[in-house]
Structure 1
């Protein structure tokens, strides 16, 4: 690999996958970790990412693990440095994508997906269940959960091969029991993330020249 100055800005939700790739490839790449869960507040995510991008204009490339993320990356611009990021709506679709990519959405409409990173989120299912159990009687708690997860019936663990699977499946079994969901495990794919970090050309990665703005239309197939 050449000696380009490169920095990765990554959601902490993907820490297992990013660290696994860095260890396997022995790449010395600086990483700025952004707190997990900001896809639910895209305006805040956008401000934070733009701040970091502006501070990294001495780099040759800035890499983002974020996809469109609820339009959280739309409008971002790097005036003097190239930007590269996955061409996916979100990291779930990125981790589920099998090569070659043939459709925009990889998810099942009635499924909630998780990796180990998701189980650590303060708003993850079991954490929500425990908080609601302290605040409400069981009938009200269950009514709130039913409203929150209306339309979903399955909890799917994405096995990316980057974390100990058994504890995550145990977490998912408990969470599925709380929601009366079915639970399964599906295979994941970290090839796009690996290509982003290694610097391999990949049609699933967007490359923007300095001064080009990230637009939502760029993520369309």
Structure 2
């Protein structure tokens, strides 16, 4: 886990190659789950909705809610539907990977749903104000999203990567596929305090040599797998 341009994919590549020498490994990207048969059509229609309602684009909605928290039940319905779709796709991807993996397989995920409301890859609706005293579409969607996330098992071990904002912005500027600066700033802020109940969480500072970061992560994984003392890579 970590903000945009914090080195997640690069580090995961190193860890996957290392673990793959002695273990069967399955890699997924829970932050960008594929469409399912149920969400395929809505995804096809999303570009048209974004064109018709540009103010409801996910990044714009997230930024607006960060600056000006919504009043009771005032957030866009398209944002709510998209949040439920993402929760459904994440659950399908994670449960499918676990069920289809033979015993002893290590499942690695680039990003994973946390229990922090409003944070990247986690529940987006449950912490927002809802209309009081009456049924509503937003209330139903928030309840459905919460149930979907509760179905997702806690990971055994989490590596929460962090780097100063200036470093993250510089890394993003040199990526082949850059993210908008506003998006990187927002994700950096919302990724700073993630909670994973029931998981071992290792907070890793990536503002140093890649080799040093990878060694620290390998040692933590060795300990999680067999309780062995850290040893050379």
| Interval of TM-score (by shorter of Structure 1 and Structure 2) | 0.3 to 0.5
As a proportion of its length, which structure holds more helix? Answer: 2
Which TM-score applies when normalising by structure 2? 0.34
As a proportion of its length, which structure holds more strand? Answer: 1
Which TM-score applies when normalising by structure 1? 0.35
